[in-house]
């Protein structure tokens, strides 16, 4: 069976790895003219690292990223609100949480594909289902044919648009600035991650190894144009007066390395495919970053898709089984991310005070369950 994968991000590359491991003939089509190196960092939860290890991609063994050994929530001025039991959660689930530069993860995934072709500058613009397969049209007028097409081309997926129409994304009223930088600070230990919560804005500071950090900052912004502005002075102004390590991390970052990403997702899509065509990751179920499960759920999709395609001779039936298998879990993650995002970005003084009290005094059992639940995932038998 020949499979075309549209998109060479985390979802597309992992899908190709999973399919190749099952013996499929795979080609990846990527719109960008060259391999991606930008994009800040990622927190890969235990479910994601579990699946990657099963696919032969062991970040710890290959020295990519940093295992997260401590995770705390702090006030804007750096006072500790809560230590989260990330170590015991990883131990229970049998797989680590790993924080990694996105470009390093993509490079590792490309290396793991070995001789699988990844065609850059090959933007998918259309596809047509034909007898026994699908024909894909590229922006340069070229075509490719295959038995199956997998849309892994992100939140603005061309494959999705062809399936269900070109629908607008949904914005949630805040910007997320993201960057990586060479930076160390005594308050951020090796393997440490810290989130700082304020009123209508937050900041994350995460060790990704090699003397580098991944950081992100959010802020409620009414103007859609403002949600796409990444000027360093604006970021510094937003976090003026915050903890020393927050201000120093921003100061240590070259302006060109700071990206502005509006907080976006989509209404959950009930139908992910038709015939020999399906979707994975952000093309199917884009979600806000609050649960750190965007990449993790995408990696799960890739493994499940390969599992179902290998189990049945009828490709269309296998794809519908895959979609049914994944729909409830991903719907729950999208909804939970949206709920948590609303709590994180609160601006009402009374509501934020109550939120912070809950963070400080909630029973540890409840805190632990809230954090471990999204990471529970069993590999298909």
User: Which of the residues are catalytic?
Assistant: 196
Cβ neighbors of 168 (< 8 A, separation 6 or more) are: none
Encoded tokens for 278: 């399906």
- 67 CA to centre of own chain: 17
Pairing relation of β-strands 212-220 and 170-182? antiparallel
Give all strands (DSSP E) within the chain, no chain letters: 2-6, 25-30, 41-44, 66-67, 70-74, 80-84, 98-101, 118-120, 124-130, 133-138, 143-146, 148-151, 170-182, 192-197, 201-209, 212-220, 259-265, 277-279
Per the CB < 8 A criterion, the answer to whether 207 and 99 are in contact is yes
Encoded tokens for 376: 């529970």
SS3 15: helix
The 10 Å CB-count burial string (b at 16+, else e) for 103-142 is bbbbbbbbebbeebebeeebbbeebeeeeebbebbbeeee
Pairing relation of β-strands 70-74 and 192-197? parallel
């Amino acid at each position: 069976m020949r499979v075309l994968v549209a998109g060479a991000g985390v979802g597309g590359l992992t899908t190709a790895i999973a399919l190749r491991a099952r013996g499929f003939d795979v080609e990846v089509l990527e719109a960008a003219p060259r391999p991606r190196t930008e994009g800040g960092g990622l927190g890969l939860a235990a479910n994601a690292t579990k699946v990657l290890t099963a696919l032969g991609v062991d970040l710890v063994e290959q020295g990519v990223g940093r295992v997260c050994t401590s995770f705390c929530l702090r006030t804007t001025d750096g006072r500790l609100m809560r230590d989260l039991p990330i170590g015991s959660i990883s131990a229970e689930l049998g797989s680590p949480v790993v924080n990694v530069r996105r470009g390093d993860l993509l490079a590792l995934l490309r290396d793991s594909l070995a001789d699988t072709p990844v065609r850059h500058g090959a933007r998918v613009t259309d596809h047509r289902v034909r007898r026994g397969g699908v024909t894909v049209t590229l922006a340069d007028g070229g075509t490719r044919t295959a038995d199956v097409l997998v849309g892994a081309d992100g939140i603005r997926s061309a494959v999705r648009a062809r399936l269900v129409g070109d629908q607008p994304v949904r914005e949630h009223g805040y910007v997320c600035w993201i960057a990586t930088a060479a930076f160390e600070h005594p308050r951020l230990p090796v393997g440490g991650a810290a989130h700082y919560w304020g009123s209508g804005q937050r900041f994350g500071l995460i060790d990704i190894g090699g003397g580098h950090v991944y950081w992100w900052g959010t802020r409620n912004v009414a103007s859609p144009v403002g949600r796409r502005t990444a000027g360093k002075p604006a970021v510094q102004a937003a976090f003026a007066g915050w903890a020393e390590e927050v201000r120093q991390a921003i100061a240590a970052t070259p302006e060109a390395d700071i990206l502005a990403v509006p907080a976006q997702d989509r209404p959950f899509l009930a139908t992910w495919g038709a015939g020999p065509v399906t979707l994975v990751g952000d093309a199917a179920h884009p979600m806000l970053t609050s649960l750190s499960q965007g990449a993790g759920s995408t990696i799960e999709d890739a493994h499940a898709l390969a599992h179902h395609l290998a189990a049945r001779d009828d490709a269309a039936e296998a794809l519908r089984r895959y979609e049914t298998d994944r729909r409830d879990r991903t719907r729950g993650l999208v909804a939970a991310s949206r709920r948590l995002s609303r709590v994180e970005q609160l601006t009402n003084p009374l509501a934020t005070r109550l939120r912070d009290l809950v963070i400080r005094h909630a029973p540890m059992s409840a805190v632990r369950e809230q954090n471990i639940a999204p990471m529970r995932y069993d590999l298909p038998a």
